[in-house]
């Protein structure tokens, strides 16, 4: 009887967590469509600019209209990490299905953007599958990403 109660609590907790992740993805999509830079930066991390100040400065420079960032599937990969399958479209990128990590870090869920698509993936509509581990992302964003001394 106790194990059934614990299992039900676990399922409810996971569903609640999944709802939080979906909410962050929806908020990110709305912010991106409006080009609300402050909200976009608050809701995400970018692999290209792990420093949040650099990220914000670069997003402010972008004049790319986001048409779509629609979550079509969501899957828990491990503790603190989900994989969102998203249909994304911008002015320069035709509708493309991609996998986007969503990370729980410092008490918040963050959409991880800036993942490169292979040259032909966007054209072919292929799915990007470059999701790393939660520890990788936490270390990457905690330590400021790559080492600029070795990446020239």
* Residue 125 pLDDT grade (very low, low, confident, very high; cuts 50, 70, 90): very low
Mean pLDDT of 113-134: 62
Mean pLDDT of 123-151: 67
CA-based angle 115:117:121, to the nearest 5?
A: 155
pLDDT of residue 148: 39
Fold of domain 2-143: Nuclear Transport Factor 2; Chain: A, (3.10.450)
Say whether pLDDT at 139 is over 50: yes
Domain boundaries, the chain: 2-143
Contact status, residue 98 vs residue 128, Cβ threshold 8 Å: yes
Looking up tokens 């792990």, which residue turns up?
Answer: 50
Interstrand relation of 44-46 and 108-113 (parallel, antiparallel or unpaired): parallel
Say whether pLDDT at 132 is over 80: yes
Which residues, in sequence order, are CB contacts of 95 under 8 Å at separation 6+?
68, 87, 88, 89, 125
Say whether pLDDT at 149 is over 50: no
- The whole-angstrom separation of Cα 28 and Cα 43 is 6
Contact status, residue 113 vs residue 55, Cβ threshold 8 Å: no
Mean residue pLDDT across the chain: 81
According to DSSP, residue 51 is labeled: S
Tens of pLDDT, residues 3-14: 454 444 455 566
């Amino acid at each position: 009887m106790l194990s059934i109660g614990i299992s039900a609590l676990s399922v409810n907790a996971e569903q609640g967590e999944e709802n939080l992740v979906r909410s962050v993805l929806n908020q990110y999509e709305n912010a991106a469509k409006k080009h609300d830079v402050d909200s976009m930066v608050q809701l995400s991390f970018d692999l290209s600019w792990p420093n949040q100040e650099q990220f914000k400065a670069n997003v402010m420079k972008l004049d790319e209209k986001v048409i779509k960032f629609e979550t079509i599937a969501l899957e828990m990969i491990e503790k603190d990490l989900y994989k969102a399958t998203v249909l994304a479209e911008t002015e320069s990128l035709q509708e493309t299905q991609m996998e986007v990590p969503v990370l729980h870090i410092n008490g918040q869920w963050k959409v991880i953007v800036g993942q490169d698509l292979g040259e032909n993936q966007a054209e072919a509509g292929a799915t990007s599958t470059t999701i790393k581990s939660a520890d990788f992302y936490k270390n990457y964003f905690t330590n400021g990403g790559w080492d600029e001394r070795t990446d020239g």
